[in-house]
Amino acid sequence: MKNGIKTAAVLLFSAVTFLSSAVMVSAAGDGSHSTGTSVKMTVLTGEAPAEGSDVNGDGTVNVLDLMRSKYNKLNPADPETETGKFVYRLYRNIWCTVPDVAEAEKYTARLEKGEISLEELVFEFAENEKLAAAATGDAEFVKSVYTGLLERDPSEEELKEASESLAGGADKSDLVRKIAASEGFITAWEPHGLGDHLKRIGSNYKKDGKWMHLEPSGKTYPVTDETLLRVLDSCSNILKDHGNGVDDIYKFCVDDSGYKFMEKTKTLEEIENIGWTYFADYALTHYFSVCYYMAAEMDVLLEQAGYQCRVVHATHGSGDHYWNQIYINGQWTNYDVTNCWSNYTWDQMVEAGAYILLGYVRPEYK
């Protein structure tokens, strides 16, 4: 075996020596090539030198030019724009492959024209057959995805959980979608000046004209529940008719609802056992309700509009209270439909109602 390696090395060295001494050929010649140039094209690139192979600009195509040309194909330089760099990152960290320059430019153009969001593009990469073909081990893939989408390494717990999930049969696409739909994804990319390209994908989104449900695990399946379909279609119509800005949504919710004591305040456990979809549907179809109904209505509308949002669970002298928080310009701000308070800081909320925070809830509508 060692003799075989030595023989191959000698042959390769001889070929390179021969190529290096071959006659130079004009890059603008009549299309004919010397034997030396033909061998160069075969050995170094496997194809005829494309226009522009004269990398060093001296009017000739030599071995060094072809080597550089081949290197540039295998190691394309990152684009100058942040959107372009993000697309290249998806090739390298999701598909674990070299960026296809022409294809990547098309993805970048779609982002810059506002035809697709960062999250939606990540979902496309996750659902492409190239992901399944990525020949990487589970732990290596987990590290690559976390680095690519969150710009950090996974914690030991995250690495263990995700690796075991993949080893147990979970799809790689589930992990990619899970991370792209997380709060960390938005906070990671907003500082890069990509805030205009961020649009949160919530518990439900449309794909090819059909509603899909996204579980917290990243797994997806078609929505079939009639109540949820009604809620989602209502949200689409409301956002179309009233606008999808935060203030537009808040104004609609305030105008569309009023507080009326109609039931004993439910615990968070009771609310989640019933399901947030029920409360959102009720608030969308009835005027009077209590705080967690109104919070559900605004939350599902914000989610469908693409905002990073959550429900605040707090308590004060008269019992528990729920309202909405939206992540805007790098910080969380508060909207309380029940009390008609908009764009309040946390200190303003505490001053207004002496609230004590119990936790944050990210409702899943299913």
- The tens digit of pLDDT for each residue in 252-304 reads 999 999 999 999 999 999 999 999 999 999 999 999 999 999 999 999 999 99
Each domain of the chain, given as residue ranges in start order, spans 2-74, 82-199, 226-361
What is residue 53's DSSP assignment?
-
* The CATH number, out of the four listed (3.10.620.30, 1.10.1370.10, 3.10.20.90, 1.20.120.1080), of the domain defined by the range 226-361: 3.10.620.30
Q: How confident is the model at residue 2 (pLDDT cuts 50, 70, 90)?
A: very low
Q: How confident is the model at residue 65 (pLDDT cuts 50, 70, 90)?
A: low
Q: Which residue has the higher pLDDT, 18 or 148?
A: 148
Least confident of 73-87, 140-154, 255-269, 296-310: 73-87
Least confident of 41-45, 107-111, 151-155, 157-161: 41-45
Confidence check: pLDDT of 39 > 70: no
Residues 304-322 pLDDT 10s: 999 999 999 999 877 899 9
pLDDT cut 70: percent of the chain above it: 79
b/e per residue 16-52 (b: at least 16 CB within 10 A): eeebeebeebebeeeeebeebbebbbeebbeeebeee
Confidence check: pLDDT of 74 > 90: no
One-letter identity of residue 334: N
Please name the helix (run of DSSP H) or strand (run of DSSP E) that holds residue 296, with its range, or none. Answer: helix 291-304
Phi and psi at residue 328, in whole multiples of 5°?
-130, 130
From the list 68, 61, 13, 16, the residue with the least C-alpha distance to 37 is 61
Beta bridge partners of 159: none
Confidence check: pLDDT of 52 > 80: no
Please state the CATH superfamily assignment of the domain spanning residues 82-199 in this structure: Phycobilisome linker domain (1.10.3130.20)
* Predicted TM-score of the model (pTM): 0.76
**Contact criterion met (CB below 8 Å) for 55 and 69:** yes
- The pLDDT assigned to 43 comes to 45
Q: How confident is the model at residue 204 (pLDDT cuts 50, 70, 90)?
A: very high
Q: How many CA atoms lie within 13 A of 91 on its CB side?
A: 21
- The pLDDT assigned to 45 comes to 47
- When pLDDT is averaged across residues 53-69 and rounded to a whole number, the result is 59
Q: How confident is the model at residue 21 (pLDDT cuts 50, 70, 90)?
A: very low
pLDDT cut 90: percent of the chain above it: 73
Alpha-carbon span 203 to 285, nearest angstrom: 21
From the list 275, 281, 247, 288, the residue with the least C-alpha distance to 366 is 275
From the list 351, 300, 343, 348, the residue with the least C-alpha distance to 325 is 343
Q: Is 273 exposed, middle or buried (CB count within 10 Å of its CB: 0-12, 13-18, 19+)?
A: exposed
**Contact criterion met (CB below 8 Å) for 344 and 334:** yes
